[in-house]
Amino acid sequence: MKNASRRLTYGWAAVAATLLGLGTSSANAQDTYKVFLNMSYSGNTWQASAANGIKALASTPPYDKQVEFKTIISGTDVQKQISDLQSMIAAGANAILLYPLSPTALNRTIKQACDQGVVVFTYDSTVTESCAHNVSNITARYGANTAQWMVNQMGGKGELIFNHGVAGTTVTKTYDEQAYGVFKKYPDIKIVGDFYGNWNDATSQEEVAKILAAHPNVDGIWTVDGTFGSLQAVINSRPDKLVVIAGQSNNGYRLAMADPAMQAKGLKGVSSSAGPAVGGYAFKLMMEVVTGKKKLTANNIEYPLPWVEPQDVKLCQGETFVDGCNTFPADKVPPLFIDTSLNGDLLPELSLKSVQDGTPTPGATIKDLPDVTYADNLPGINCGKCEPTKDWLEPNKVKPIPAP
């Protein structure tokens, strides 16, 4: 992959590189690669864990000698993300890994990057530009499966709070559509309040508390991230009458799910949703493509959907996920630590410290990935003109109870 094909003047490339904090001199692209991580929304534990895992992998041999790595945070402004991507292209990027704010607004700029020879991967959220590679579990039906699980646990009736994610992202759009589709089949399920929690626990706790003040008999909370905060609001408001809840994999949430005392007070939970490890997986896959180790036959790759119910919680004794463990003791990590920051199968290079501070695991080396699982096409989500799977709004993991 040669930078000579970029069709940029040296002066403009040098200016862009200076602005981004990268030197203009580099080794041959066959030996060293300029790789950018473009974060959009960065104000929560999930994004920090994902970014730390990616940073740690970029510093793990042999990538520590091959990758000139730079992180750019664009915030929640799509135009700022477009501008930042253009600067990365001008700076001579070989590869860009990004969390896109929109499935379509970035397409023109992403196409420009591809035309300049830049390999573009997204993680978790997706785009419809056909030259980009989307790595996500967006097609694994989190919304449909968790909504159906909640309906089953609630016996098909009750009051529900709906905690959206970040407005405009493909993750929120897809998960919401699936969850609403399931809940609407059960007329005795009443959504009494909803809000955009921005995948943030503090925001979620505040908003759930407001809704509980007006609707004190809420039976369940559907959420993605912000799960621990949502649960804390219920505990603070009515500690002896907890809820059915579906959401993320915060360590404190998993411990509460499996606690018999909490279960006796009504807590029923499932820990699922996209894990931050999807970022590290996308980075490794992107580097295998960039370095020629792997050739992909389709552009949409599915990351496996985590799924842990109370009986599945197993405490880890060390710093990594081994022997089927998936949760840490309370004195090991803070409650908001997201357990799915780690993946012992796909990211054995990462340790607890790696995803907490971005440092590589001593002695670790990058391991080859297994064969990928290709994802379904979803028009307007991860592809443009394509045919969706007919049952993409339906649960494929949880068997529905009869609707009235």
Instruction: State yes or no: pLDDT of 164 exceeds 60.
Output: yes
pLDDT of 6 > 60? The answer is no
Backbone torsion region of residue 207, taken as left when φ is above 0, otherwise alpha when ψ lies between -120 and 50, otherwise beta? alpha
Burial class of 148 by CB neighbour count within 10 A (0 to 12, 13 to 18, 19+): buried
User: Is it the case that residue 11 has pLDDT exceeding 70?
Assistant: no
Q: Measured between alpha carbons, how far is 182 from 145 in angstroms, rounded to an integer?
A: 9
CB-CB contact of 215 with 159 (8 Å): yes
Ramachandran bin of 197, using left for φ above 0, alpha for ψ from -120 to 50, beta for the remaining angles? alpha
H helix intervals, 161-243? 170-183, 201-214, 227-237
Binned at pLDDT 50, 70 and 90, residue 30 comes out as low
Of the pLDDT bands very low, low, confident and very high (cuts 50, 70, 90), residue 203 is very high
DSSP string for residues in 291-354: TTS---SSSEEEPPPP-B-GGG--B-SSSS--TT--B--TTTS-TT-BGGG--TTT-TT--HHH
How large is the angle between the packed helices 45-58 and 277-290, nearest 10 degrees?
Answer: 30
Q: CA angle at residue 315 from 314 to 319, to 5 degrees? A: 130
pTM of the model: 0.84
Q: What is the dihedral of CA 196, 266, 262, 330, to 10 degrees?
A: -30
Backbone angles phi, psi at 94, to 5 degrees: -90, -30
Q: What is the pLDDT of residue 184?
A: 97
| Cis peptide preceding 260, ω within 30 of 0 | no
- Give the pLDDT confidence of 261-280 residue by residue, as tens digits: 999 999 999 999 889 999 99
What domains can you pick out in the chain, each with its CATH number? Answer: 3-137+276-305+341-357 (3.40.50.2300), 140-271 (3.40.50.2300)
To which H or E segment does residue 50 belong?
A: helix 45-58
Nearest to 38 by CA among 90, 7, 84: 84
How many other C-beta atoms lie within 10 A of the C-beta of residue 342? Answer: 29
153 pLDDT more than 60: yes
How large is the greatest C-alpha to C-alpha distance in the chain, in angstroms? 69
Q: Residue 31's pLDDT is what?
A: 84
| CA-based nearest residue to 329, from 344, 345, 313 | 313
The two three-digit tokens of residue 277, written as one number: 């490890």
Cite the DSSP H helix spans in 217-250.
227-237
280: which 2 tokens?
């590290």
User: 335-364: per-residue pLDDT in tens?
Assistant: 999 999 999 899 999 999 999 999 999 999
Q: Which two tokens stand for residue 348?
A: 């054995």
**Predicted local confidence at residue 170, as pLDDT:** 81
CA dihedral sign, ordered 342, 121, 124, 86: positive
The dihedral sign for the CA sequence 384, 197, 183, 257:
positive
Answer yes or no: are the C-beta atoms of 141 and 80 closer than 8 Å: no
Structure tokens at 257: 């799910």
Q: What is the pLDDT of residue 390?
A: 86
**What is the percent of the chain where pLDDT is above 70?**
92
Amino acid type, 262: M
Q: Give CA–CA dist 133/52, Å, rounded.
A: 21
Tens-place pLDDT, residues 318-327: 998 988 899 9
Whole-angstrom Cα distance, residue 357 to residue 59?
Answer: 12
